Chain A
Amino acid sequence: MEPILLKNINTPDSHKVDVYLKNNGYQALASALKMQPDGVIQMVKDSGLRGRGGAGFSTGLKWSFIPKDPTIPKYLCCNADEGEPGTFKDRVIIEKDPHQLIEGMIITCYAIGAKTAYIYIRGEFAFGTKRLEQAIKEAYEKGYLGKNILGSNFDCDIHIHRGFGAYICGEETALLESIEGLRGRPRIKPPFPAIAGLYAKPTVINNVETLSCISHIVNKGPKWFSSIGPEKSPGPKLFGVSGHVNKPGMYELPMGTTAREIIYNHAGGIRNGKKLKAFIPGGVSAPMLVEKDLDTPMDFDSLAAKGTMLGSGGIIVMDETACIVKVAMRTMAFFRHESCGKCTPCREGIDWTYKVLHRLEKGEGKEGDVELLEKLCGNIFGRTFCPLGDGAVMALRGALKNFRDEFVEHVKNKGCIV
């Protein structure tokens, strides 16, 4: 497949508006502004685009939930928090091709009737923030942002809001709280953001990659988009491969490409000729898979059928030297640190699992610890306030399911044998 989202990233000065324009930039915006907003929504619905932030919800459908009443202010929030360990796709777009995102955002605003959009960007992305600021400035100068865009009577402003290092602020309602200046933590749903989101007004929250697809759908049509990859989750997808491979990096491939192809053909296989032990298909919250799962197509539905998820598409590869107990401990250390502390099962449960895993790692495991971990997972799962707690448990369960013996060994041998 020809690169689509990453088409420009190797062009010199790809982040500048002039370069973007030379490559047909802002053409989609011009055509979209000539359509009815509902027509744009329909187009995105028809394309079959599903959100790239993790949950894979139909983007067009999400937009169509926004009330049409023109007197109610509406907002678009671009989720650029990219906090999931193993994930670095949004960063590439932001740094290398920010106008692709901005164009997608303006079209989205037009489609849902929003005049104001926010980009909630991960605090650590200082360079990315600078690039975005520069690009937004250029877009204003060229008249793609501001008042009466391209003579269409449509006004649109984009503001950047920097995060402060909390993973939970990537969760869409926590993100809204954070933009509002409150403590970043999830809200009760319902009401859903489409009805009462930012400042209690209808709001769409989309991932950077999702929004970056929009201009291409408008330019080349929904049919073209849905012809790429599987019927139920079509389109190009950014796969970020990290870990024990020869060529870690960002690969844009059709949705549904198998894990084997990505890891062995594109990322150059396992480094040092070692064997694959496990891989995480979509950021640490996604339960890990093993060798026998390598032929699973990497798309939302096929991975769900395997009990895991596509998530962010950040693939973490581990070779046979990896200690899975340690991986589990490090993963739970992350979630324990990032739990916002609001709900009991996540706050207390994850802390507890971490403490047990830490003991196992140190060689202080006890008879019954593995069962205890399994029981704790059961007591947390499905009872937390937001999906963070569930994600943590899914990750731990993935490790326990595939490598239970390794945990038991840790108890028996008072430490690691890998």
Chain B
Amino acid sequence: MATVKINGKEITVEDGTLILDAARQAGFEIPTFCYQARLSRLGSCRMCIIEIGGQKKLQPSCVTPVMHGMEVFTENETVKSARASMLEFLLANHPLDCPTCDKGGECELQDFVFKSGPRRSPFSESKRRFHDKDKILSPVIIKNHNRCIHCERCVRICDEVVGRTALGSIGRGAKIMETSFMDSTLDCDHCGNCIEVCPVGSWMSLPYRYKARTWDLKEIDTVCPYCATGCQFTIGARNNEIVRVKSKITTGINKETLCARGRFGYNFIQSEKRLKKPLLKKNGKLVESSWDEAISFIKQRFGAGKKTAGIASARHTNEELFVFQKLIRDVFKTNNIDLDSRFANKWVTSSAIEVLNLAAGGISIFDALKAEVIFVIGSAISNENPITDYLIRQTAVDRRKTLILAHPRRFKLNSSANISLRYKPGTEGEVIKGITDFIEKGVFHGNVVGDISQVGEKFKNAKNITMFLGADILRLDNGTNVVAEIVALKGLLKKAGKNIIIQPLFDRCNQRGARAMGIHPLFLPGLKKVKENGMDCGEILDAAKKGEIDSLYILGEDIVSMYPDAKFAKDALSNIKFKVVQDTFLTETAKTADVVIPGASYAEKDGTFTNQEGRVQRLRKVISPVGNSKDDLDILCSIGGFAYKSAKEVFDDIKKEVLGYKDINFDALDGNGALVKGHGAENQGSRVKGQGASEIASASPRNDTSSNPYLDEYPFLLITGNHLFHSGRLSQNDDVLIKLLAEPFVEISEEDAKELGLTDKENVKVKSSEYEAVLKLRVVKGSQKGVAFMPENFDSVSVNQFYKKGQGIARVKIEKQV
């Protein structure tokens, strides 16, 4: 510990504390530009210079640690005038076009000049000017080089946090310019984090351009509706119109960062295509109706008992899902309720609940990342959970840690990984088993590309290991086997006295909350076992196909587009007598419904989401539901006849039924949210090895070596998932995200492309036994041979059309398009 005197005030801090932090702790404000807590220390702007007793030169407080007995002055005349002169220098070449700058009102330069800057400048020379017109770099990013003050926060966040290194400084002296290569967006993730950290209006958001003055915005903190990382952000609205999303350095696990979806994907809310009125099917056609008519129609027609079912999307709030579950179970009297969750069968999802410890309390990602070995399997995490990717990247910088990534595809985080493993989808269990075998017996079998023995060594030598398990596992018919292997490995490591954390990586914002709310055919709220097992999604569709389902309520899920076998799903749904779809857009599934009811988007309602860590966070209403659409909770309550008046009232009931939520105070939830506690010892998933594994023989990669004409004809395993700019089918309705990526593509390894004589960006024909389409090819160096990937985000070529029920992972061939 070091005791220092700051402006006469004594304070004791940890050794090595920066003078800046010590001064802030002591209650003194020091202005900074280049300093940003999570970035490497630059010490270049010299705004933070202070005087140290006995030293002639002023020192930058953001890079100088305290020393015991040091005397520091941050407010004396020397320091004040140095500060003012630094601002004077920064203003010398700054255009001072504040009246037309989007940053005006929240510009750090403006604020500091106001506080400590010179009121007049003797600068009378001509200013540096790079360009007259701002440079549009992408559909979301616009740059004004003239305003830049060269703090390089943008360069560092892009490199150190985002992992893109799309930016750099070019030129020297006053001609220095922070920009991308040739002002292009090569390598750019369009995350806009450079915009967020820029203290001035040099990087700006193009969609927000000239939309508002910052002081005219109504700003509300809420949670991102896309992946389950659960980033906090602030929505800015003007005249009931959402004009921007920004992140805050003080709030959420994401702090100042977001990904492209979170930051720019708010435009679907006000999309023209939003459903604005209930629709009823009359004479085979969906026509607009009144709310009363729609609700009473549902009440009349919806059946009860075994022949009814409900399927919900994990994008809904805990409160909505809890009430939905009540509606299905208490009113419609059935346990046939499930989540879309990649349409894994109930045994896979149940075993996942067990291995992921979802019945136990939540674990903060920061605690999980304290382990020396971090192992990620089953998620192209850079695309699925971009901010979790950032957090892992920053942790992996620590040379004492080992990051191991196992996935068929190569993606951004691989460049930060110590070990990368490649495998064929479906063989995840073999990868895990290989590690277990190596640790146990020193030998292993399996077709993994990469050094399993090195992984085994790292596991052996670590005291704390964190495994992240991605949602890919949930797509597997043999998921229960994968889980069994993980449980075996975990047991082995536990026996060796190691601390093991297994964390989920989910692709839908409230996947974890949904299970806790009882959206599962085997579990009631709080993961209490049901008395009589219900049917999962697949079983519901099977039954429907046989004509055994009369009524189905679909809350926010697009089964026709997502179920792996589009044709089958459509056929099955057409056999159901009465279908209700509650959604925000007229999805392919909604088109087949008898009643379509327009729900609200995340920005139009209150409630909570539980992220993948188990962190319960508040969603807050910013604008009222568009058109004649309604808050989903209101809709469910009026159909079910429940008396809840607000999300909070539902939450109070949740607290009674879901043990882990008992201590959470809805009104007190702030930017940090609250981690759930355990739901009780008797509540957990169940694992029955092999149960539910259906026919996978024909498609299983394990048959690869034997000659099989089907495999020879369709050599690629086709996998899917979210693209970095998209999430499910929701984001294709966002006119900004669609500008970032408008069309699906097919991605294969460089090895395969070479063998087939195909090159990046050319059009290819992708063909399975079920479907064919022409797509742009993307070639990635270092991905697994024999694997093709296609984003799941587009109606134009819907991946599930390539799939055939019962064949597991789809098989395709890829041919030159002539």
Contacts and interface: CB of A to CB of B under 8 A. Distances in A.
- Tell which of A168, A355, A366, A368 has the most Cβ of chain B within 10 Å: A355
Interface in A206-244: none
A347 B45 contact: no
A166 interface: yes
A313 interface: no
Contacts of A345: 46, 85-86, 89
B237 to A, nearest CB: 37
B41 A352 contact: no
B74 to A, nearest CB: 15
Contacts of A166: 172
Interface in A348-385: 348-352, 355-356, 359, 366, 368, 372, 375, 379, 382-385
B45 A343 contact: yes
Contacts of A366: 124
B413 interface: no
B82 A341 contact: no
Interface string A153-196: 00000000000001010000000000000010000100000000
A342 B82 contact: no
Contact of A348 (B56, B90, B168, B169): B90
B174 A341 contact: yes
> What DSSP secondary structure best describes chain B's contact surface?
loop
Contact of B46 (A188, A344, A368): A344
B373 interface: no
Interface in B298-355: none
Contacts of A355: 125-126
B122 interface: yes
B67 to A, nearest CB: 12
Interface stretch (A16-24, A52-60, A118-126, A332-340): A332-340
B86 A340 contact: no
Given A339-B173, A340-B172, A344-B47, A382 B85 contact: no
Contacts of A375: 122
A344 B45 contact: yes
B174 A347 contact: yes
A188 B63 contact: yes
- Tell which of A342, A345, A355 has the most Cβ of chain B within 10 Å: A342
A341 B173 contact: yes
Interface size class of B (residues with CB under 8 A): 35 or more
A350 B176 CA distance: 14
A383 B49 CA distance: 8
Nearest to A183: B169
B93 A351 contact: yes
B123 A337 contact: no
- Tell which of B122, B128, B173 has the most Cβ of chain A within 10 Å: B173
A368 B168 CA distance: 39
B808 interface: no
A379 B89 contact: yes
Nearest to B171: A341
Contacts of B88: 379
Interface string B585-622: 00000000000000000000000000000000000000
Given A341-B150, A359-B125, A348 B85 contact: no
Contacts of A183: 168-169
B93 A348 contact: yes
Given A383-B49, A383-B57, A348 B92 contact: yes
A383 B45 CA distance: 10
Contacts of B128: 351
B138 interface: no
A347 B46 CA distance: 12
Interface string B127-162: 010000000000000000000011000000000000
Contacts of A382: 56-58
A341 B82 CA distance: 19
Contacts of B43: 188, 385
20 contacts: A188-B42, A336-B174, A339-B172, A341-B150, A341-B169, A341-B172, A341-B174, A342-B44, A343-B45, A344-B44, A344-B45, A344-B86, A345-B85, A345-B86, A347-B150, A351-B128, A351-B173, A372-B122, A375-B122, A379-B82
6 tightest A-B CB contacts, nearest first: A341-B176, A348-B89, A355-B125, A379-B85, A339-B173, A351-B174
Interface of B: 41-47, 49, 56-58, 63, 82, 85-86, 88-90, 92-93, 122-126, 128, 149-150, 168-169, 171-176
Interface of A: 166, 168, 183, 188, 336-345, 347-352, 355-356, 359, 366, 368, 372, 375, 379, 382-385
Given A188-B63, A344-B47, A359-B125, 16 more contacts: A188-B41, A339-B172, A339-B173, A341-B150, A343-B45, A343-B46, A344-B44, A344-B86, A344-B90, A344-B149, A347-B173, A347-B174, A351-B93, A351-B128, A355-B125, A372-B122
